[in-house]
């Protein structure tokens, strides 16, 4: 099995400085060895590392983790998409095994539609078959849809079910907007971060109707499970809670469906 969404970081801020000095996350130190304490006992041998936000575009720690554990990790990096050199930055990271690039917005995703750097990023991703991985809230899904229309050959992996339900409410219109992205054959969705969505209580069965709708729209070959560890393993949630929802808690999944969502889709995209 492959966990398609984990973060790692170190408390060595001298060697790996942060763009937000003094930023503290719990735990203060979460290297791969701590991840393995949760993933390996659950049968998850590989994972996709997602660049931690407080490192900005300095992907050094993530790349060092890839080198230290060959074959174990895929990687999603961060580049400055507002610069003319965004394509060169993506290619440089791709040579080290990075197969995806995270984007997010602090304001309106409409800015993405007008920014020439974003267009360059999506074109490079299409040419090299690298994934663009948007972390967005539901209100940004419409703008994301328009970008997918402009760049139909770009692989897109939407993080955390489009964060639908992050405010506790899973709205039908948000669900429809996310599922409408399935009309773009290159769009994938991470079925992840259950601890943060809806009622936020394991075994997360309040999410079942939503997950059934997403499954019906995308099918198993365009869905991939991720824990969002270490955030998944706080406030009473466990790694096993997240995995169990996919492995045991969705009655509509067949064995072959689970094999795609728990590994094969992530393997094709990021390894």
Per the CB < 8 A criterion, the answer to whether 155 and 129 are in contact is yes
- Name the residue among 197, 55, 74, 45 with its Cα closest to residue 133: 74
Give the tens place of pLDDT for each residue, 45-60.
Answer: 999 999 999 999 999 9
Residues 198, 218: Cα–Cα separation, whole Å: 21
Q: Which of left, alpha, beta for 236 (phi over 0: left; psi -120 to 50: alpha)?
A: left
Task: Flag whether pLDDT at 20 surpasses 80.
Answer: no
Q: Band of the pLDDT at 23, cuts 50, 70, 90?
A: low
Task: Flag whether pLDDT at 108 surpasses 80.
Answer: no
Task: Flag whether pLDDT at 13 surpasses 80.
Answer: yes
Q: Return all residues near 83 (Cβ < 8 A) that are at least 6 apart.
A: 89, 117
Kindly indicate whether the domain formed by 2-270 is annotated with CATH number 3.50.50.60: no
Backbone dihedral angles phi then psi of residue 132, each to the nearest 5 degrees:
-95, 130
Task: Flag whether pLDDT at 90 surpasses 80.
Answer: yes
For the chain, give every domain's residue range.
Answer: 2-270
What pLDDT shows up at residue 3?
A: 98
Task: Flag whether pLDDT at 106 surpasses 90.
Answer: no
Q: Band of the pLDDT at 107, cuts 50, 70, 90?
A: low
pTM of structure:
0.95
What pLDDT shows up at residue 71?
A: 96
What 8-state DSSP symbol labels residue 263?
A: I
What pLDDT shows up at residue 21?
A: 65
What pLDDT shows up at residue 22?
A: 60
DSSP string for 197-228: STT--TT-GGGHHHHHHHHHHH-GGGEEEE--
What pLDDT shows up at residue 241?
A: 97
Task: Flag whether pLDDT at 105 surpasses 90.
Answer: no
Task: Flag whether pLDDT at 109 surpasses 80.
Answer: no
Tell whether the torsion through CA atoms of 48, 53, 59 and 61 is positive or negative. Answer: negative
What pLDDT shows up at residue 256?
A: 98
What pLDDT shows up at residue 205?
A: 97
């Amino acid at each position: 099995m492959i966990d398609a969404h984990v973060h790692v970081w170190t408390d060595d801020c001298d060697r790996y400085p942060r763009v937000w000095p003094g930023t503290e996350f719990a735990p203060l130190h979460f290297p791969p060895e701590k991840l393995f304490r949760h993933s390996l006992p659950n049968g998850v041998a590989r994972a996709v590392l997602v660049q931690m936000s407080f490192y900005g575009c300095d992907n050094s720690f993530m790349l060092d983790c890839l080198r230290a554990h060959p074959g174990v990790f895929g990687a999603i990096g961060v580049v400055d998409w507002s610069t003319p050199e965004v394509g060169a930055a993506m290619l440089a990271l791709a040579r080290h095994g990075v197969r995806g690039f995270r984007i997010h917005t602090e304001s309106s995703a409409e800015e993405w539609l007008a920014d020439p750097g974003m267009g360059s990023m999506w074109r490079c991703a299409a040419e090299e078959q690298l994934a663009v991985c948007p972390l967005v809230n539901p209100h940004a899904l419409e703008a994301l849809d328009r970008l997918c229309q402009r760049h139909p050959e770009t692989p897109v992996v939407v993080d955390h079910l489009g964060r639908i339900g992050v405010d506790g409410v899973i709205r039908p219109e948000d669900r429809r907007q996310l599922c409408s992205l399935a009309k773009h054959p290159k769009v994938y969705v991470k079925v992840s971060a259950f601890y943060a969505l809806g009622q936020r209580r394991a075994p997360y069965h309040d999410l079942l109707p939503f997950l059934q709708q997403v499954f019906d729209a995308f099918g198993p070959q365009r869905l991939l499970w991720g824990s969002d560890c270490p955030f998944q393993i706080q406030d009473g949630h466990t790694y096993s809670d997240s995995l169990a929802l996919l492995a045991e808690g969705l009655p509509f999944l067949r064995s072959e469906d689970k094999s795609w969502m728990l590994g094969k889709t992530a393997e094709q995209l990021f390894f």
